[in-house]
Structure 1
């Protein structure tokens, strides 16, 4: 952490996020809170809560439970009052909003208090319908507008055209050290293998980690597995790792697709995983075949940090994070939604063999270490805070 953030030491910084359950925005919120505390400042997060609150409080930050996730106009108006009181009581010096509904309330409260307002555009930038574009425009009304990739920054410019001097690209940071193969004990991997019923007959293990929702492409992975089986390829296991978050109909559809294709020996829905380091470690390759452009694509970077080859959709932020040049490749890219191309890429990685996959994974880790550390993300973010607080 840089020593140049003198005004952070006397500051209280409020981050506002819908929940602290799971996901990239939530992980970044906790990482930045940790950096604020490490720099000597006070980190406060307002959200409706979730499984990551305990981690947040363990690092010395404070959590304030508030229904900032709500899109109800009455609740949003009440949140303006609640946030205004919180800002005054805690002597907040800067507010950072990480989602749209909370941002509207946070923007009004920050303006009332006449303190800097920062946004991070974690999600997709929609260009229609007009009402949605207006609703999303709150994410470009910050004194600093942070994009999590050059792809997202380009979309912000194209759709919202904010003042160029307010746009900053800060790639999401990954726990580089925690994901290193050497940091994962054999016991952690063995425990997960037992829980997921993996043994020496599992073959090449593909892990597809993502919350269970249509645009993350689980159905594409299942169809790719079906195509591999139709070609006579048996030596693989596909694990769909992720939380359904209430999408029971979608999950039922995935389970039916597995059943109808006779893929039960090869494809499993294993639910939420609290130890993704071990999940990456037990895999031979990682899939992220989103059918729509990822704003950033955390999975692809985490997999590379874990020294695992990746197969990603050739769209959005993932184009920036995965190298595909022959001889220097850290993974493979396939057209979004193309199950046949995904099956081809999976077969190609299987054919490479363990040594070539390990070499590709090693290149991926070097790439992640060079460009996507949490320290680099937090240093850049706190630098933005420091400049705004100085003003």
Structure 2
């Protein structure tokens, strides 16, 4: 197979990691893998894995982006891809408009993935336009079926995102050197029960609820320290400043640490007693829930979206009602007291399964009759 994946850029994030995972699986299986994007820090890794990168920026929200439709159509015709896999809305629109004008007998077969619960609109509907539509959780499948009635349920394929268990091995222990460096940088975490939240500093992640949980645990006599791991969002700096001010106003400056962006989450999870996932809006999946669970670390999270599906499969006791910070604090206390069994082993949300199932969707589509109309 000759496969092209399309997304806005290759910097960082779940969509980008998933793109590289599928690209690597294609190369490993002997197929031809190409990725079209506006570039980014992950391009070098993609190329080292054996894929081709096409630098073509289709993610700028401007009417001028439409000028790419015709040249893209000609380029696609010359490349003769078997599959074109669209992973984002604006590039999806440009590619779909180009694809729609191609010869139905020879154009690539079209796959889209719905990665998130976008605002419901005609613009967002493009993610359901594929001949096959991959949904990354049951919650996303329900979102598509509930909001886009023109989407044929028969073309939906549920493929959970997955991780490599070797990257987040059960009972992982950080090296002595890492521990020495870590506690040199964050001495306030020594001899504390560490409660961690991972994710960029955006309002939907529920950082204010996290502060409330830490506050309640401290008030009940628990020697806990909150650790927030995640970068500031350049587009939302006011929110980051709001968080820093809230920590000071609550008197939690000695009990909550902002660690910023980190590339060593596996080790950070290993020194965390509990990980919290308190997103106030349902997430499509929840990688920062799955990763610590894979290591055997307990996670307490709001019971909605993809997070609820992961917790239901691996750690049901970790699920609490949305915005119920009292229940979250109570559950964390029970875990710290040793009253809750550890998570089940992750045998469901695996990278190998995700890759195999995705390639199977490609193969299934290639063997199916072509549509004459879109």
Of stretches 253-262 and 81-90 in structure 1, the one that deviates more from structure 2 is 81-90
Pairing 1:327-338 to 2, within 5 Å after superposition: 329=315, 331-338=317-324
The Cα offsets for residues 79-119 of structure 1, whole Å up to 9 and x where unpaired, read as 32453344244432211111111110121223334221111
* Contiguous gaps of at least 5 residues in structure 2: 369-374
CA distance in 2, matches of 1:376, 1:329: 20
User: What's the CA shift for 1:179?
Assistant: 0.6
- CA distance 1:381–1:268, shift in 2 (3 Å): same
Match of 1:159 among 123, 143, 147: 147
CA distance in 1, matches of 2:71, 2:172: 42
Match of 2:115 among 109, 115, 122: 122
CA distance in 2, matches of 1:304, 1:73: 44
Give 1:5's aligned residue.
Answer: none
User: What's the CA shift for 1:305?
Assistant: 1.0
- CA distance 1:156–1:67, shift in 2 (3 Å): same
Match of 1:142 among 99, 112, 130: 130
More helix by share: 1
Q: CA RMSD in A?
A: 2.2
- CA distance 1:106–1:331, shift in 2 (3 Å): farther
User: What's the CA shift for 1:123?
Assistant: 0.7
Secondary structure at the aligned position of 2:15 is classed as: helix
TM-score using structure 2 length: 0.90
TM-score using structure 1 length: 0.86
Pairing 1:1-391 to 2, within 5 Å after superposition: 11-75=1-65, 77-113=66-102, 114-127=107-120, 133-161=121-149, 162-181=151-170, 185-187=174-176, 189-190=178-179, 193-194=182-183, 196-198=185-187, 201-233=190-222, 235-246=223-234, 247-323=236-312, 329=315, 331-352=317-338, 359-361=341-343, 363=344, 366=345, 368=346, 370-391=347-368
Secondary structure at the aligned position of 2:122 is classed as: helix
User: What's the CA shift for 1:145?
Assistant: 0.7
Secondary structure at the aligned position of 1:56 is classed as: helix
Question: Number of matched residues?
Answer: 362
